[in-house]
Chain A
Amino acid sequence: MSIQKFTTIKTSCVPLPVENVDTDQIIPARFLKATTRDGFGKNLFRDWRYDKQNQPVTDFVLNNPTYSGSVLVAGKNFGSGSSREHAAWAIEDYGFRVVVSSFFADIFKNNALNNGVLPVQVSAEFLQKIFDAIKNDAKAKVEVNLEKQTITLVATGESENFEINPYKKECLLNGYDDIDYLLRNKDKIEAYEQNREINL
């Protein structure tokens, strides 16, 4: 088993300058009834994207053909709320490989990384620069380099470093998954079980 490898991408962006985008907005609960991981992308941001009659809401960014690309740029505290991994599946299935924000909710961050989606946390200032660049040119590109841990506005060359823990970076660069790692370490887990003083 493996996750999709991530190295470098250069792409235009989809801007969503809203704060506290919670996982109920990313994928509403009524679409969590599946028993597989497939096909969640079509309901990504369902209630912002479609109206009651299931018609596309024209001023929502995913329905605006001006914007495209595999980087979603969102306001601070992205992915708050429910632990549903379906949110990460929906983002990945829709075609995003990176989400940029100035702040991510913890569980979402783990879920994204476990599905080959890279959460890139930037400063509030740099986030604003990206939003401004997209405002000036809807096709403005960013380059995300995981090896160097940089995100760069291609037009101006302005760049910022982002954090990722070295283990997760290795996983993404190589497409490794955590379960393989844990399965390889089962002897350690069994040794831990045998040596516990308090067994709850």
Chain B
Amino acid sequence: MKNSLFKYCLRLGDNSLILGHRLAEYCSNGPYLEEDISITNTSLDLIGQAEAILKYAAKVEGEGRTEDDLAYKRPEIEFYNVQLTEQPNGNFARITARQFFMDAFNFYLYSALKESTDNTISAIAAKSLKEVTYHLRRSSEWVIRLGDGTNESKIKMQEAINDFWRYTSEMFEMDEVDEELIAKGIAVDLKPIQDLWNKKVDEILAMATLIRPEDAYMATGSRKGYHTEYLGYILAEMQYLPRAYPTAKW
């Protein structure tokens, strides 16, 4: 149980940490100042969520590690974020598509986790839900605005949706970790969340006059610590100082 809960927390925390990191990379690159602030703000929310969940993960593990040890001293194979979160920023449509897919997932996930029998997870979910509700509203509006904007923005938004589609089924994969924790009421069944997610995506894509892609190759692996090539570079950069100066405190 301890191991499963630890791993479950890492999944949640790593999703926020890596997506937050990607958004932070975009700072000073926004299409205009208000949007730059908005993206940095979302990043800040996500890093805060990661900090809270990883802190709990460290406590559950009980090996004396901290949230920073988990963020800055773990190797790639022990990261469990879904591959979508580590995909590079590219243009603004890609950032929007990635964010929308994750926000919709997080919204339904945290709405359900709010009822978790684990008090810490339920408290973190309730706090995160307030932030994620706003994130989802914002990214949905952007999908619609870009999809129904100019021809150029429509093409770019559709391309981004198509390109990232392959990374969207990984969010709903379940294994023995989920089974064990669902039985105890700690984790939630992802099947109903997938149904809600599909409904939301269909609704927003329709409003955006965009087409839902067909499922083809769907990426998998993050539940076992397998990632795309991008995660290694993120960690090389993110973990550089703590790894180069292991005894230093910052």
Same complex: no
Chain A residues packing against B (C-beta within 8 Å)? none
